[in-house]
Structure 1
């Protein structure tokens, strides 16, 4: 639809005034979809523009299951899955499941609901990331409770995404000691290496997270001692 690109650009600029003018001129843009598959709503969510999202909803945008999951709109997710239970395993145009999006955007109630409805906690995204909800959660800086919920759902803690990164690599690289602790308790390997040969401790140190690096290095030494060889 003509004009949707302009609308998306306004959202990315967080120019709510321009967004209002565009919607006044062409109200149908609120529910339009770009050639890429993006909707204004998902762009507002990705760009964390709550004001833009609320305006789009007020102007008639209807969230699909992926948008609702990412935005934490649990009742909308319930409504959509009640009508179409298969959506729990569906893929967004960019390859994510609703669980990936809820995990990345820190929406624990939605994550919990999707898991109860049978979402595959180890499903891989169908894009270049090829990751699980655990990678998505760690990269998004999720709360400890959300990562713990994924662990309780039997997420594969040492699963690797594109580039060879595990969830522990992701948590270490952003200095999240609480997430590192959860993953270590769940058995995540401190010795896992990325495709470039980097351990979680090395990524933590490279990003200035010395406390997390020390925590991981200590666990590495303990693991080496248990095997009876030098660390």
Structure 2
């Protein structure tokens, strides 16, 4: 069985099969798929906490990006003490440590990285082009969004297809996050490449009151 099966098991939540495979093939625990995603990151992306814990407990060495994703602050600290130039670098799949920590809601890691001077506006160097604030808003992490904005993150920066942080917050119906973004200069008239405003996003997802709030 190739590691392709392993990633599918992790994605599908077939944890017994994934764990048995890794116990029989321990070297595969550090291998990545064609997109540069490791088994640990795949488990994190799939919100498969059981596999996150299983893999993390068996990894001999965790990357900065893996550690940032799962909130392993001590490992993040040690990595950046020994190799500070990694701070604003990109994981094999294109995201920064700050972007990953923002997406996964790892507030302590976000605070630490910002304290070191991580760039809060540095977008992923992949097709998604998401900056940390996009990631925080997509996952509705209000506190992290506030930290990023305070550090100077651009509230109107577009990602793939022209989506802004406000589009994401509106799409999720997150009123508090919408208000935070508007308070800090988010443009309610911003349009995606398909011509959709944040109000359109809110309306489509069944948040009519929020859509009304977002109309010029």
In the superposition, the TM-score normalised over structure 1's length comes to 0.89
- 1:40 is aligned to 39
Provide the rounded CA distance (Å) in 2 between the counterparts of 1:33 and 1:197.
37
Structure 1: give runs of 5+ residues left out of the alignment.
221-231
Matched, 1:72 2:71: yes
Provide the rounded CA distance (Å) in 2 between the counterparts of 1:45 and 1:52.
8
> Which one of the candidate residues 169, 180, 188 is aligned to 1:171?
169
- 2:152 is aligned to 154
Provide the rounded CA distance (Å) in 2 between the counterparts of 1:130 and 1:34.
21
CA contact (8 A) 1:121 1:132 kept: yes
Matched residues, number: 216
Quote how far apart the aligned CAs of 1:103 are: 0.7
Spell out structure 1 runs of 4+ moving beyond 6 A. none
Matched, 1:105 2:104: yes
- 2:132 is aligned to 133
The structure number with the bigger radius of gyration is 1
Quote how far apart the aligned CAs of 1:3 are: 2.8
- 2:213 is aligned to 215
- 1:189 is aligned to 187
1:47 to 1:215, Cα distance in 2 relative to 1, 3 A: same
CA contact (8 A) 1:41 1:61 kept: no
Quote how far apart the aligned CAs of 1:35 are: 3.9
Q: Once the two structures are superposed, what CA deviation does each residue of 1:4-55 show, in whole Å capped at 9, x if it has no partner? A: 2222222112112112221221122222233432211111111111111111
Quote how far apart the aligned CAs of 1:198 are: 1.4
Provide the rounded CA distance (Å) in 1 between the counterparts of 2:190 and 2:138.
17
Q: Once the two structures are superposed, what CA deviation does each residue of 1:186-218 show, in whole Å capped at 9, x if it has no partner? A: 01111111111111111111111112112212x
Q: Once the two structures are superposed, what CA deviation does each residue of 1:50-103 show, in whole Å capped at 9, x if it has no partner? A: 111111123335321111111111111111111100111110111110111111
Q: Which segment is superposed worse, 178-187 or 206-215?
A: 206-215
Provide the rounded CA distance (Å) in 2 between the counterparts of 1:202 and 1:8.
36
- Residue pairs, 1:12-23, within 5 angstroms: 12-23=11-22
CA contact (8 A) 1:94 1:127 kept: yes
1:140 to 1:212, Cα distance in 2 relative to 1, 3 A: same
Root mean square deviation, CA, Å: 1.4
Q: Which segment is superposed worse, 189-198 or 41-50?
A: 189-198
In the superposition, the TM-score normalised over structure 2's length comes to 0.95
